[in-house]
Chain A
Amino acid sequence: GIQVEQSPPDLILQEGANSTLRCNFSDSVNNLQWFHQNPWGQLINLFYIPSGTKQNGRLSATTVATERYSLLYISSSQTTDSGVYFCAAAPWESARQLTFGSGTQLTVLP
């Protein structure tokens, strides 16, 4: 099956800093999503982005499908951005069966 690798595994920032999270995947994808898991465990969908670039407020994401990676940008980070960020991907033949990476644990310090 498809392999999904995320980096870095841990990231500590001061409030106001910017960050870039990376997701590499091993096969062509028809579905790629970014999720945020808050400290209480709730999973929130941030982006559905199998290709191209999207922005939502301080967050943006870019997927370069031909090079099999996706980036999540967080600008002007806030303490509420803390949590785990997951990338999940699915190949063309099983587009709704997501494989999750191990996540990036982000801690934003006040």
Chain B
Amino acid sequence: NAGVTQTPKFRILKIGQSMTLQCTQDMNHNYMYWYRQDPGMGLKLIYYSVGAGITDKGEVPNGYNVSRSTTEDFPLRLELAAPSQTSVYFCASTTSGGNEQYFGPGTRLTVT
């Protein structure tokens, strides 16, 4: 199993541009999550999903959108990039019966 994969690894955006961060897991996990990690800080939950077609907001959802059309994929959309969205973004997943979260390698995003 590849586990949780994220693309791209790095991206530089100009203010106002949009992009989609991709996340895929091949472990048949129902639960998927998006976090952001600012320098020197812990992770903050942006959105999560308990299964295909079901998503909900986390602690810091403003400026982001998500969708979950399949069990495997959970893309994160930034519509109008702002400098405050410069961060490292992590995707994670877990089973419905389990609790340990498995993380992807992260996407480092810079908005200038």
Q: What is the interface of chain A, defined by CB distance below 8 A to chain B?
A: 1, 4, 31, 33, 35, 41-45, 48, 86, 88, 95-103
Asked if residues A41 and B106 are in contact (CB atoms below 8 Å), the reply is yes
Asked if residues A41 and B45 are in contact (CB atoms below 8 Å), the reply is no
Q: What's the dominant secondary structure at chain B's contact region?
A: strand
The contact of A86 among B40, B42, B58, by CB within 8 Å, is B42
Query: How many whole Å from A25's CB to the nearest CB in chain B?
Result: 13
Interface size grouping (class) on chain B: 20 to 34
Query: How many whole Å from B94's CB to the nearest CB in chain A?
Result: 7
| Residue of chain B at shortest CB distance from A87 | B42
Contact of A100 with B101 at beta-carbon distance under 8 Å, contacts A1-B59, A41-B88 already known:
no
**Interface 1/0 per residue, B34-57 and A, CB below 8 Å:** 010000111111001010000000
The contact of A100 among B44, B94, B99, by CB within 8 Å, is B44
Asked if residues A45 and B100 are in contact (CB atoms below 8 Å), the reply is yes
Q: In the complex, what residues of A have CB within 8 A of residue B74's CB?
A: none
**Interface 1/0 per residue, B48-91 and A, CB below 8 Å:** 10100000001100000000000000000000000000001010
